[in-house]
Amino acid sequence: MKVLVIGLGGVTNGGKTTLAEMLKKMLPNCDTISQDDFFKPESEVETDERGFKLYDVLDALYMDEMVKSVHNWMKNPSSSGVMTETQNTCDNLKMTEDVYILIVEGFLLYNYEPLNELCNRRYFFTLPYEECKRRRSTRVYEPADTPGYFDGHVWPMYLKYKKELEENASNIVYLDGTKSQDELLSFVCSDIMQELKKLRE
């Protein structure tokens, strides 16, 4: 039994969760883990001098727990209740029957080395500033974004971690979050197929 761990990282509101859900429906033996499930409670998240809760940093997350969840899945993927029935729209899916796929999605995956090193394939969503701000303004968060939060914390942290990534991480495939969901799905799907072929060689 083989496992493939796919990372879907990058900018807030870039389309990570949507793509993860679409892939899960299409790929056999596929499961997802979302970084959003590992946020610390609000009381444990630091506040800066401007009163902004610092959610967009690694310290706001239980990263060790997230890595542990990925390890646990890798040890026994078939017991995780993964879906084996799919809407097969990826090509050649018969060849994936003995492979289990985990999609790990979140905004900060590759800046934490213990998690980064578990990924066989790394995708990173990007968005231009204006589009990202527009999408973010349409979403409801708990706790809600305070005025100035996007410009004061969210966007600067995205740029900081992206720069860090460009300097240190390798084998990152950048995805343009302004492209249509179908286009992104088609590209990532065929890319994953190539990975699966390599696994079986």
Q: Which residues are catalytic?
A: 36
Strands of 30-34's sheet in order across: 30-34, 99-105, 2-10, 121-126, 172-176
> What is the DSSP code string of 20-67?
HHHHHHHSTTEEEEEGGGGBPPGGGS-B-TTS-B--SSGGGB-HHHHH
As given in the structure block, the two tokens for residue 87 are 């809407």
Find out whether 110 and 122 touch, Cβ atoms under 8 Å.
yes
| DSSP tag of 162 | H
Q: Classify 137 as helix, strand or coil.
A: helix
As given in the structure block, the two tokens for residue 63 are 């990263």
How far is Cα 192 from Cα 60, in angstroms, rounded to an integer? 31
Which residue in 71, 96, 92, 70 sits closest to 83, CA to CA? 96
Which residue in 92, 93, 94, 110 sits closest to 7, CA to CA? 110
